Amino acid sequence: MISGAGLSGPAEVRRSPDGDLPAALRIRHLDVTFTNRRGEIPAVRGLDLDIAAGEVLALLGESGSGKSVTARAVMGLLDHPGVRVRADEVRVAGTDLNGLHPDRIRALRGETMALVFQDALSALNPVLSIGDQLGEVFRIHRGLSRRAARAEAAELLRLVGIPAPDRRVRDYPHQFSGGMRQRILIAMAVALGPRLLIADEPTTALDVTVQAQILELVDRLRAELGMGVLLITHDLGVAAEIADRVAVMYAGRIVETGTVTEVLDGPAHPYTAALLRSVPDLEQPGDLLRPIPGSPPNLLALPTGCAFHPRCDRATQRCPADRPERRPLAAPGRSAACHYAEETVDAAV
């Protein structure tokens, strides 16, 4: 049971007439372009994404595929000269962020949407106690006194499983292990009961046991708080652990979507299939590693047609000439951007 003023739920959740919670996230045609001296870099291209309330969607892909840029665009953290963000719609828990003043978007951070970074040590202030840092959220957003805010902070530490929370609120970041610090960041992110939690590689720096604990924590919190979760990861094991659905990105585009089971058991895009093959099989320790040939494309000079064609083992003459749009496949919510998606699924199962 979650208690505490901050965790009693968001101040206002707009429900549909039939009482359903709005989708945690709905994005339509998001483009993010960086401009530098060498030209225009299309980091995200025509991205559509949906996450229901209480659902975990894992966004997968290699470094530079556009996953983290997507997260920062949603959070309104790309408001810089040299970055152009355009979308038909970016709606978080029913509120369309498109065209909102940066001050309004800032106000939604924490209350409606929150982001957990991977590097807990640099995200926490080393000279403030954990109680002061967590309590600040309640002092600023809820107008609580210092004492009441500290009590809320202890409640949050208890929520994320930190032992002796009433004592530990007085400690500083360096007095916690890496896993504990990551829990504290998650506590800070969920303090005000956001409807959308974006976790950007939240377990990358942690050992396997602590990683499992953090994933379990995120899973428990989404169930208890009803948050939608966008989990950004390059780790297929992490996705398999807690995600309901998966979206795979390549060169700034989503190239495949489906449930975890559909995508991991029968990938429809050759890039997803290659990602899966590149994961070492611990049950076959003698097997050779099978990395994806070549390297991720230069976004300043994307290959023509299908951007994956120089690395694809199924490419035909059609692929460099004809860019495949992402299209629905047989199962609901399943899609892939490949001319030969059906054949790729058949080859995988």
Q: Where along the sequence are the contacts to ligand SF4 (CB under 6 A)?
A: 269-270, 306, 308-309, 312, 314-315, 319, 324, 338-340
Kindly list the distances between the CA atom of residue 46 and the CA atoms of 254, 269, 332, in Å, as whole numbers in the listed order.
8, 18, 21
Nearest-approach distance from CB 294 to ligand SF4, in angstroms: 12
DSSP state of 124: S
Judged by CB, which is closer to ligand SF4: 201, or 256? 256
Nearest-approach distance from CB 306 to ligand SF4, in angstroms: 3
Judged by CB, which is closer to ligand SF4: 145, or 304? 304
Judged by CB, which is closer to ligand SF4: 131, or 324? 324
Estimate to the nearest angstrom the gap between the alpha carbon of 7 and the chain centroid. 22
Q: Which residue reads 């093959």 in tokens?
A: 277
Nearest-approach distance from CB 83 to ligand SF4, in angstroms: 28
Kindly list the distances between the CA atom of residue 265 and the CA atoms of 156, 236, 317, 345, 349, in Å, as whole numbers in the listed order.
38, 12, 28, 9, 7
| First and final C-alpha spacing in the chain | 42
Nearest-approach distance from CB 42 to ligand SF4, in angstroms: 18
Nearest-approach distance from CB 279 to ligand SF4, in angstroms: 19
Judged by CB, which is closer to ligand SF4: 132, or 262? 262
Nearest-approach distance from CB 45 to ligand SF4, in angstroms: 15
Kindly list the distances between the CA atom of residue 241 and the CA atoms of 148, 212, 244, 262, in Å, as whole numbers in the listed order.
37, 8, 9, 14
Judged by CB, which is closer to ligand SF4: 176, or 271? 271
Judged by CB, which is closer to ligand SF4: 269, or 326? 269
Nearest to 42 by CA among 65, 10, 26: 65
Q: Note every long-range contact of 100-103, with CB atoms under 8 Å and residues 24 or more positions apart, other chains counting.
A: 100/76, 102/76
- One-letter amino acid at 107 equals A
Judged by CB, which is closer to ligand SF4: 6, or 252? 252
Estimate to the nearest angstrom the gap between the alpha carbon of 30 and the chain centroid. 15
Parallel, antiparallel or unpaired: strands 56-60 and 245-250: parallel
Q: What does the alpha-carbon distance between residue 112 and residue 96 come to, in Å, rounded to a whole number? A: 12
Judged by CB, which is closer to ligand SF4: 77, or 348? 348
Nearest-approach distance from CB 302 to ligand SF4, in angstroms: 13
Judged by CB, which is closer to ligand SF4: 138, or 308? 308
Q: What does the alpha-carbon distance between residue 41 and residue 31 come to, in Å, rounded to a whole number? A: 11
For 70, residues 6+ apart whose C-beta sits below 8 A from its C-beta are 27, 30, 32, 44, 47, 49, 59, 232, 249
75, two tokens? 């959070």
> Max alpha carbon distance in the chain (Å)?
69
Nearest-approach distance from CB 307 to ligand SF4, in angstroms: 8
Nearest-approach distance from CB 295 to ligand SF4, in angstroms: 16
